[in-house]
Amino acid sequence: MNAPAKSKLIKGESGEWEVVIGLEVHAQVTSNAKLFSGASTAFGGEPNSHVSLVDAAMPGMLPVINRYCVEQAVKTGLGLKAAINNKSVFDRKNYFYPDLPQGYQISQYKSPVVGEGKVTVDLADGETIEVGIERLHLEQDAGKSIHDLHPTNSLVDLNRSGVALMEIVSKPDLRSADEARAFLTKLRTILRYLGTCDGDMEKGSLRADVNVSVRKPGAALGTRCEIKNVNSIRFVGQAIEFESRRQIDIIEDGGKIDQETRLFDSNKGETRSMRNKEEAHDYRYFSDPDLLPLEFDEAFVARLKADLPELPDEKKARFVKSYGLSPYDAGVLIGERGTADFFEEVAKGRDAKAAANFVINEFFGRLNKEGKDISASPVSAKQLASIVDLIGDGTISGKIAKDLFEIVWNEGGDPRAIVEKRGMKQMTDTGAIEKAVDGVIAKNPDKVAEVKAKPNLLGWFVGQVLKETGGKANPAAVNELLKKKLGI
Ligand code: ADP
Ligand code: MG
């Protein structure tokens, strides 16, 4: 599908290599209760305070499927434009671990609830790729072993035990660390729009197993290594960069890649072997006799489909079409549902491009600088809209608008009233502007002599006049006037 672009290939001693990546993403389902019990899924509770008898695997307990979690999985499948399987099966994946009291994880193996789908991903260089989704299945999370709270014992916290996860498996369609990062970012955006996973990687709500192999362009797929449980988008990129280079070096030194499970050490920026294929688990999957196959009818799916929110791709297309924004700007604005809504509130009934410019450059810039989420913004959409209006009707210049934004950000208040009170209005008195222009010209005869040969100097003159006028002169008027007076 994705023909390897030259720039994505990696140089080795023997020529160029192509990296092939597939992700298995574990996304915690947004739900108050667990997948098969009524216990709470709240984050950060006292250890073992959100554990039902089912989660603790007490003898004789029976799992009961949480309908809401199934709805969430189906919604996600629809958001991934995937086939929904009206009948699927829960299996037991058997393994022993202290934080898994059942001795098996209930998962879906051969018959997942969601089949093949696709995700459209826009890359930074403007290219768009399509990444295949292999499947999505529901499964339980395990508990957590804690090794650093007691000198000689390990402790177990079962709060996470039984929490619903969606495992979303991509096809091996990704060809670089950049593509993998962009895919995961897009997937997270879709999940957040749907409200089916909060995408909070710091809390472990979203984590990825990263499968990496290398091959000569056009050759058959190489042997892959799977890097387990990577918990940030940045680390996914670093792990791929390290791992692909490691594999290329081994093959070029005459060795071969062992299929193995590795972990990413974020302190060292490297991957390390965890277990190889010989030690690999045999999970002895079989369908869980405590649970009937999961079945629902078309009407159930249709109802969920009818309730889907506008998804990122559709929103982006609408922003381009109805607001006349560039695809790039539209892509930035739709990154979060909250930012898209905020923009639309600012743009309502105004010059949408001007609104987009201010929101992206000033407002997002400021949020990023402070590491703030839009929900914590001290400036409201209404205040921002008022600033855009003040620029639009010529009351203030773009430069003053930045100062005004800064004031509103720090002190709050009605932008129009602030402009009045602090005398920030754009100078409309052409006489005063002319005076400032004349002053600057008179003070800089050397620059005046140069400007004809170096037209770039005009910008310097404009800057000086704006400085003289405290930024209140209209830059276009200053520009005009300077050109006339300097004879250029
Ligand atoms: P398993 O279930 O044994 O882990 P799968 O075949 O389901 O294996 O693949 C798991 C993940 O590995 C998928 O995301 C898939 O895209 C990816 N993958 C499969 N083969 C390769 C390969 N040769 N190189 C990179 N990724 C691969
Ligand atoms: Mg796997």
What Å distances lie between residue 469 and 116, 214, 324, 415, 480, CA to CA?
63, 61, 35, 21, 16
Output the CA 394–ligand 1 centroid distance in Å: 58
Contacts of residue 476, Cβ cutoff 8 Å, sequence gap at least 6? none
User: Over the stretch 44-92, which tens digit does the pLDDT of each residue have?
Assistant: 899 999 999 999 999 999 999 999 999 999 999 999 999 999 999 999 9
Number of C-beta neighbours around residue 182 at 10 A: 21
Residue nearest to atom 24 of ligand 1 (CA): 213
Residue 212 alpha carbon, nearest atom of ligand 1: 25
Output the CA 6–ligand 2 centroid distance in Å: 29
Tell me the three state secondary structure of residue 283.
coil
Element (H or E) spanning 105, and its range? strand 104-107
Among the listed residues 355, 364, 402, the one whose alpha carbon sits nearest the alpha carbon of residue 382: 355
Q: Are 31 and 72 within 8 A, CB to CB?
A: yes
Residue 169 alpha carbon, nearest atom of ligand 1: 14
From the CA of 131, the nearest ligand is: 1
Residue nearest to atom 6 of ligand 1 (CA): 171
Rounded to a whole number of angstroms, the distance between the first and last alpha carbons of the chain is 55
pLDDT < 70 positions in the chain: 1-6, 277-280
Q: Token match 């991934």: residue? A: 80
In the chain the domains, ranked by start, together with CATH numbers, are: 6-304 (no CATH), 310-422 (no CATH), 430-486 (1.10.10.410)
Q: Token match 């489909």: residue? A: 305
The reported pLDDT for the residue numbered 474 is: 81
Q: Token match 């499948």: residue? A: 77
Output the CA 203–ligand 2 centroid distance in Å: 22
Output the CA 24–ligand 2 centroid distance in Å: 7
Residue nearest to atom 11 of ligand 1 (CA): 22
The reported pLDDT for the residue numbered 279 is: 64
Output the CA 225–ligand 1 centroid distance in Å: 9
Output the CA 470–ligand 2 centroid distance in Å: 62
Q: How far apart are CA 149 and CA 247, in angstroms?
A: 37
Q: How far apart are CA 222 and CA 255, in angstroms?
A: 13
* DSSP tag of 140: E
Q: How far apart are CA 285 and CA 288, in angstroms?
A: 9
Residue 144 β-bridge partners: 157
Contacts of residue 191, Cβ cutoff 8 Å, sequence gap at least 6? 27, 76, 79, 197, 199, 206
In this prediction the pTM is 0.88
The reported pLDDT for the residue numbered 36 is: 98
- Counting ligand 1 atoms within 8 A of each CB, the residue from 139, 184, 224 with the most, and so the one to mutate, is 224
Residue nearest to atom 22 of ligand 1 (CA): 224
The reported pLDDT for the residue numbered 1 is: 47
From the CA of 172, the nearest ligand is: 1
Phi, psi of 321 (to 5 degrees): -75, -50
Among the listed residues 160, 102, 131, the one whose alpha carbon sits nearest the alpha carbon of residue 25: 131
From the CA of 215, the nearest ligand is: 1
Output the CA 393–ligand 1 centroid distance in Å: 57
Output the CA 107–ligand 1 centroid distance in Å: 18
The reported pLDDT for the residue numbered 475 is: 80
Residue nearest to atom 3 of ligand 1 (CA): 226
Residue 223 alpha carbon, nearest atom of ligand 1: 23
Helices and strands per DSSP (H, E), number in the chain? 16, 16
Residue 173 alpha carbon, nearest atom of ligand 1: 16
Residue 171 alpha carbon, nearest atom of ligand 1: 16
Residue nearest to atom 13 of ligand 1 (CA): 22
The reported pLDDT for the residue numbered 427 is: 77
Tell me the three state secondary structure of residue 261.
strand
The reported pLDDT for the residue numbered 6 is: 53
Tokens of 29: 């389902």
Output the CA 225–ligand 2 centroid distance in Å: 10
Q: Give the burial class of 191: count Cβ atoms within 10 A of its Cβ; 0-12 exposed, 13-18 middle, 19 or more buried.
A: buried
From the CA of 229, the nearest ligand is: 2
User: Over the stretch 311-332, which tens digit does the pLDDT of each residue have?
Assistant: 999 999 999 999 999 999 999 9
**Angle formed by the axes of helices 398-411 and 381-392, nearest 10°:** 160
Residue 213 alpha carbon, nearest atom of ligand 1: 24
Q: Which residues line ligand 1 (CB under 6 A)?
A: 20-24, 169-172, 211-213, 221-222, 224
Q: Are 166 and 112 within 8 A, CB to CB?
A: no
Output the CA 240–ligand 2 centroid distance in Å: 16
Instruction: Provide the pairing of β-strand 10-12 with 104-107.
Output: unpaired
The reported pLDDT for the residue numbered 5 is: 52
Among the listed residues 121, 25, 79, 37, the one whose alpha carbon sits nearest the alpha carbon of residue 291: 37
